[in-house]
Structure 1
Amino acid sequence: MTLASDQYPNDGELSPNARRMLELRDVVLLEWGRRLRTTVKEAEHLAHPILINTFPSLYDNIAEAITPGHPRSTDTETNTVAAEHGGERARLTNYNAQAVVSEYQLLRWTIFDVLKEHGVQLNGDEYHSINVLIDNSIRDAINAFALAQLALRERFVAALTHDLRNPLATAVAAADLIKHSSDPEHMKSLADRIISNLGRMDGMIQTLLDAMVFQTGDRLNLRFEPFDMLELTQEVADQFASIHGALFEVHGTAVHGYWDRDALRRCIENLAGNAVKHGAQGRPVRFSVNTLHERVMISVHNEGESIPPDEMESVFQVFRRAVSAKEGGSRGWGIGLPYVRSVVESHGGSVDVDSTAQRGTTFIIDMPIDARPFQYAPTLE
């Protein structure tokens, strides 16, 4: 069994039903995907890695949460799995809020049905934990979905305002000059300039209105090529080991796909650098590379002080850092993590955070193995 979202080392503490849930993860998720495509029209034609999204991580969290005494609880404030799912649905699909809610409702009943079919008998506490965690995830996903849609609408207005400003200013200046000119040829030239710029404005308005709102942001210039993500991760680990010593462990399997190698190298370097700066001194930094459902997951884990729940989003905002990092005099959380999010979103993926004092802090890059079809997907950065 491979946990999709957590590097908490004591997975042997999981209860028998939790371990059985993990064994049935692919069965549950494939059945959930089948039900989703047949009941939610917005999901009918989604590519599988976009359809499955962060649900493997969510499922693993549920399995952990039903174990009595496990550090994973039904409170979703210690991770961003559901929030990232909501943001991706806003950016990469034509979902509405009802479709997002339906996904979680279908997951709930698919879990119960599949477990029952395979002879797994849940007790009252386990049913309660599953329901509470899914309900909390719905809340997080819908909040993120609404915020992402608002951000995309604001970017649409900003793009429209910015792009129209130059031709409008040129047309106004030409009209003002006409008032002070008596030369017919000069006036005709100025009128032609006005007509030309008004034509530019009309063309831009039509283009912006016809295009999907998702396509309104500036994009990173990415160059996609085939390579092995485990090999790249090992290179970064070796690079950091040559500077900081033998603190770096790499686990996982080779995953060959299509991504921008240089950009993702910078992403992993940023996450590794943060793990060194903000992790417990002298404690291991663990890298993991795995694949599930045509997606690759690269995680970087450090032990030490956690990121407070109310600061998890701020670390991804440009020039913002966690309060604990500022108070500790640590440099970082300024530009690196926003860059990581922007790169990963440009690959059709997302960056999850999982952080508590017991489990440590894990940043998870979660994206399609072949990112080429999603290189024009919008980002929120």
Structure 2
Amino acid sequence: MQKAARLLKENNKEIIKKWEEKVNSEIEVSQKTSSLALRNQLPHILEDIAEIMERHNDFEPAKNDEEYKKIIKNSLDHGRHRATTTNYTVAEILKEYFVLYRVLTDNLREANVYDESTSSILKYTLEMAMIKSASSFTSAINDMKEKLVGTLAHDIRNPISYAFLALDLLDPEDSPETIEETKKMATSSLNYSLKLIEGLLDAISVEAGEGITLNFEKANIYKDIEWVIEEAKMIFTPEIILTSNSSSIIGVFDGTAIRRMLENLVTNAVKYGDQTHPIQVNVHEFENSFNLTVHNKGIPIPEEKQAEIFNYLEQSKSYNGDGIRSWGIGLSLVKAVTEAHGGEVELTSTKKQGTTFKIKIEKYKNKPGKVKSLITYK
């Protein structure tokens, strides 16, 4: 067993390379995955198997080994990572482990160090790794669906609330112009809620690596931005200030997605910001893109957590000691919407300066039509 362990440690890189080559030839979806992402937790699993082989001659006592527990953890991480890799299924994950088992046994046989004890360790550790990885993959996909549906259902409440508020403000004694403007506000909010309901149907059928469906069309996106701010002013107490260097930003956008993105940012700014300071929203148009920033004063997001909050797999964790929970999957969607528009998200958050989300959106990254967004692991 000692010889087998030494072989795995000394040939770790070569084994990984052989595995990667076989996976690329036998599993079609892996060809679209980078080498780094494809390897994922595999090198760690090999190292842990080698450590187990050094200390045990049978699987039963190995079950309580700390290295075995690490294999289980790495397998869970492997499955969760594959849930963010486009077009992967449980079948592909299981194939990856079958290929690994073949590569390992071939290498051990060639070196004449494959025996019953080695077979026992490999068989049971990899079988458990397969089970845990597949289970983790399925749980992550289901979790993502639940969160997508949940946040969509939550977001639908806002435009319906705006519509009810607008209708409640209707007064027969108002001028015809005021009545017409109020009706437009209610109609727009209800139309927006219908588009979000379409998104609910798409979220139910989401697959690995996928997020929301975006429907791109040529439009003046500034109207959508302006509308979100006007609605927010009606609902929230803190002052919300919108500034812009342009009142017309023409391009190919998904207006519904950008509205949702901005609503999430403004809502979170209100929720976690200092109520005595205004929330500042700024739009700055360039030739081929525009920047959208949302700034609030208040408790900052710790630097070590700032990348994590965009990862939907981390959304159950608290990010500071004041009991404030994560900003939710809404930020994962902010990132997905931004990247689908060819842009990027920049976050700065300090006690002195406050919290600023800066979103860059390309005007003509996409052609009109429907596209599935991607939700990335990092």
TM-score, structure 2 length as denominator? 0.51
Contact kept, 8 Å, 2:44 with 2:74, in 1: the verdict is yes
Partner of residue 42 from structure 1, selected from 5, 10, 29: 29
Aligned position for 1:193:
185
Aligned position for 1:143:
135
Contact kept, 8 Å, 2:4 with 2:108, in 1: the verdict is no
Partner of residue 123 from structure 1, selected from 115, 121, 126: 115
Partner of residue 134 from structure 1, selected from 116, 122, 126: 126
Contact kept, 8 Å, 2:84 with 2:375, in 1: the verdict is no
Task: Give CA-to-partner distance per residue, 1:263-282, whole Å, 9 cap, x none.
Answer: 46999xxxxxxxxxxxxxxx
Per-residue deviation, 1:195: 2.4
Quick one: which amino acid aligns to residue 45 of structure 2?
L
Task: Give CA-to-partner distance per residue, 1:27-69, whole Å, 9 cap, x none.
Answer: 1111111111121122111011100000000111122222343
Aligned position for 1:102:
95
Quick one: which amino acid aligns to residue 196 of structure 1?
S
Partner of residue 73 from structure 1, selected from 57, 62, 68: 62
Aligned position for 2:106:
113
Distance 1:185 1:317 in 2: 47
Partner of residue 159 from structure 2, selected from 160, 167, 170: 167
Partner of residue 83 from structure 1, selected from 40, 53, 76: 76
Q: Aligned pair in 2 of structure 1 residues 333, 116: CA closer, same or farther (>3 Å)?
A: farther
Unpaired segments ≥5 residues, structure 1: 1-13, 220-261, 268-314, 321-331, 340-374
Distance 2:304 2:163 in 1: 44
Cα RMSD of the aligned pairs, angstroms, is 4.3
Q: Aligned pair in 2 of structure 1 residues 264, 179: CA closer, same or farther (>3 Å)?
A: closer
Aligned position for 2:376:
377
Distance 1:69 1:190 in 2: 75
Q: Aligned pair in 2 of structure 1 residues 173, 180: CA closer, same or farther (>3 Å)?
A: farther
Aligned position for 1:51:
38
Q: Aligned pair in 2 of structure 1 residues 378, 68: CA closer, same or farther (>3 Å)?
A: closer
Distance 1:84 1:156 in 2: 21
Name the SS of the counterpart of 1:91 in structure 2: coil
Distance 1:24 1:30 in 2: 10
Alignment of 1:312-327 (within 5 A): 318=317
Distance 1:175 1:183 in 2: 15
Contact kept, 8 Å, 1:21 with 1:63, in 2: the verdict is yes
Q: Percent of pairs identical after alignment?
A: 19
Alignment of 1:239-254 (within 5 A): none
Unpaired segments ≥5 residues, structure 2: 213-259, 266-301, 308-313, 328-373
Aligned position for 2:4:
17
Q: What is the count of residue pairs matched by the alignment?
A: 231
Name the SS of the counterpart of 2:54 in structure 1: coil
